[in-house]
Chain A
Amino acid sequence: MNLAIRDIRFHRGRFILTSIGLGLLLGVVMSMGGIYRGLFADALAVLHCTKADLWVVQKDTNGPFAESSRIPEDIKYRIKSVPGVAEASPLSFQTIQIERAGNPFRFFLIGYDLGGIGGPPAILAGRNIRQKHYEMVVAKAMKMALGEKIRLGLHEYTVVGITGKVVSSSGDPAAYVSLADAQEIQFKKDNDAIRNNRERVAADLDRLENLTQSQAQFLKKNVSDLTESTHTVNTVVARLAPGAGLHEVQQRIERWNHYRAISEEGQTKILTKGMIEKARMQLGLFRVILLVISAVIISLIIYTSTLDKIRVIATLKLIGSQNRVIVGMILQQSLLMGVIAYAVGYALISLTYEKFPRRIVLEAFDLQVLFAIVVVICTVSSFVGIRKALKVEPAEALGG
């Protein structure tokens, strides 16, 4: 006869409610693990979609995600010409927050060369961008419909396609436009600023008495072209030809002394170790605290449940019950509570994880480790009750 099961059967209401309460706590622990994995997945989403071997960025920076990086667009031609490079494409990234239907609307805008690397990974609805201007593909999470228009900078853009779950490292859904559009949105000054700038340059040049009129005109045009140019990108990504040595290509690009070539592995390290390390530690600490709270709760429940059974335990001892019967009863109850709570937590998180605003990634390994931890916690927590039970004297069964 299993006394633990019999006790649970008799007090099933209390046991189920306690297990559900504990299950909610374990569900939070699981979600913490899922958020942690989600942070990784989000941080690496653009990196993985791009499938580039090298990320060429501004010298001495960890760009384009962890730090700001600005390089001229035409560097792509020089990178394409490096032996071992099969493809190279410029990319532009920027976070945009606008007002939509009276609410803040935030997304991560990626500008790419049509037909080059770094475009939308898959089109779920509609089509890819075909025109060089005013078309955009948005991630499903942006909840925009095909044909919907959105104003960015000086122009309106039409949604022509929906792509899957691509997000920035901070979890904002991604939208794609052509590189030219992205550059215009990011770098194009408004007309008043351009006019003011031209006036200032002209006034400065007019003060130089030894310039001829044609020299001044030439300089005005060139200075304006330079200051108004939008041909800047955040990175140029490259894919290597089969058999090409990553390290050699990297060294060759960096020898130019103006750029840094970061491998995919290096970029992964920057994103995971640098950008989300604190969030990871924060979540890790929070998980530990929640597990400690779970352990304390289980210990208290088992202890009070043992206190409730002091007379039962004394009676069992008096009629000659072996200690293993009593220890087994307490341990099994503790483990059952842990297993049921784990199942409740798992069911809860499985049903809700897709509704979280940020990505939750539930990995089998994490869940298995958590299960093992719960089993250990329940075993250790039951020791408090077992210790109390073993101290109970059979004589306590006597008397009224």
Chain B
Amino acid sequence: MYAIEVDNVTKIYGKGDTAVTAISHASFQVRPGELVAILGPSGSGKTTLLTAIGLINEPTHGRIIVDGVTVADGGWVPGLDLKRMRREKLGFIFQAHNLIPFLTALENVMVALEINNFPSGEAKGRAEQLLKSLNLGQRLGSYPMALSGGEAQRVAIARALANKPRVILADEPTAALDTENGKNVMALLKSLAVENHSAILVVTHDHRMVEGFDRIFEVRDGSIIRETCGAG
């Protein structure tokens, strides 16, 4: 079973003469444990594709299946609890890490667990364990502003992983990092995909980072123009 199935998905903004096609007939699948990139320049539609899979942006046509659950079939499937799906099945990593500034590193991870109704004690234990596994054991009580870019992104990864999601969606996770930190993050994502058997879909325009991916989909003007196998 695929972790992500995108079948002939189209997203059109606006109507009539002002209609803009952001994604056009995109189709691909991602297996559990796979690290896949969607590569393309700004405005190519890669983030729109990510947000459609992330249950944020409703596709106009086509079908999306996440972890065996059909979430969109010519629009959202009626009666589907999108928030719950996001909580339980998906993990998000952002370009600017998007850590909550008034929470410590530990609390930033805990909050994702508590939203999923984990008891506070259990959430704390699990968050601590996760952060220590990402070499952030010394930074548990630090606020995001006191963390380096690489540390903050690792906390964000820990938050995304906290709930052991089947799918992790990353939006330009290395864009705010230098090359070395960016490569470290990519290596971390690769190892997590294998260890946790999660599908990781990364949107990026950064050609420096393509080495570690299992597969790469290149997007231009809303269409997937090429699929290549990466060095990963």
B34 in the interface (beta carbon within 8 A):
no
A78–B87 Cα distance when bound, in Å, is: 92
**A257 in the interface (beta carbon within 8 A):** no
Knowing A11-B102, A320-B83, A325-B115, the reply to whether A395 touches B110 (Cβ < 8 A) is no
Could you give, for residues 4-27 of chain A, a 1 whenever the CB lies within 8 Å of some chain B CB and a 0 otherwise?
001101110000000000000000
Chain A residues with CB below 8 A from B114, complex form? 1
Q: Shortest distance in angstroms between B156's beta carbon and chain A's nearest beta carbon?
A: 10
Q: How large is the interface on B (under 10, 10 to 19, 20 to 34, 35 or more residues)?
A: 35 or more
Does A115 belong to the interface (CB within 8 Å)? no
Partner of A399, one of B83, B95, B107, B143: B95
Given the known interface contacts A7-B102, A319-B112, A393-B56, the answer about A1 and B120 at a Cβ–Cβ threshold of 8 Å is yes
Say whether B101 contacts A319, CB under 8 Å: no
The interface residues of chain A lying within 8 Å CB-to-CB of B92 are: 318-319, 397
B213 within 8 A of A: no
Q: Does B84 contact A (CB under 8 A)?
A: yes
Least distance between A203 CB and chain B CB atoms (Å): 95
C-alpha spacing A316/B87, complex, angstroms:
10
A-B pair number, CB within 8 angstroms: 84
A393 to B83 CA separation, bound complex (whole angstroms): 12
| B91 CB contacts on chain A under 8 angstroms | 319
Evaluate contact between B110 and A1: CB separation under 8 angstroms: yes
Which B residues between 166 and 201 are near A, CB-CB below 8 angstroms?
171-172, 175-176
Are B115 and A400 in contact, CB atoms less than 8 angstroms apart? Answer: no
Q: Which residues of B contact A3 (CB under 8 A)?
A: 100, 102-103, 111
Please give me the residue from chain B that is nearest to A1 by CB atom: B114
User: How near does chain B come to A1, taking the closest CB pair, in angstroms?
Assistant: 5
Q: Is B94 positioned at the interface, with any CB of A under 8 Å from its CB? A: yes
Pick the contact of A319: B57, B86, B123 (CB < 8 A). B86
A398 nearest CB neighbor, chain B only: B171
Bound-complex Cα distance A400 to B57 (A): 18
Interface check A321, CB cutoff 8 A: yes
Can you list 14 pairs linking A and B with CB atoms under 8 Å apart?
A1-B103, A1-B111, A1-B114, A3-B111, A10-B102, A10-B143, A318-B54, A318-B86, A319-B115, A319-B159, A320-B87, A321-B83, A322-B83, A322-B115
Give me the interface of B with A, judged by CB distance under 8 Å. Answer: 47, 50-51, 54, 56-57, 83-88, 90-92, 94-96, 98, 100-103, 107, 110-112, 114-116, 120, 123, 143, 159, 171-172, 175-176
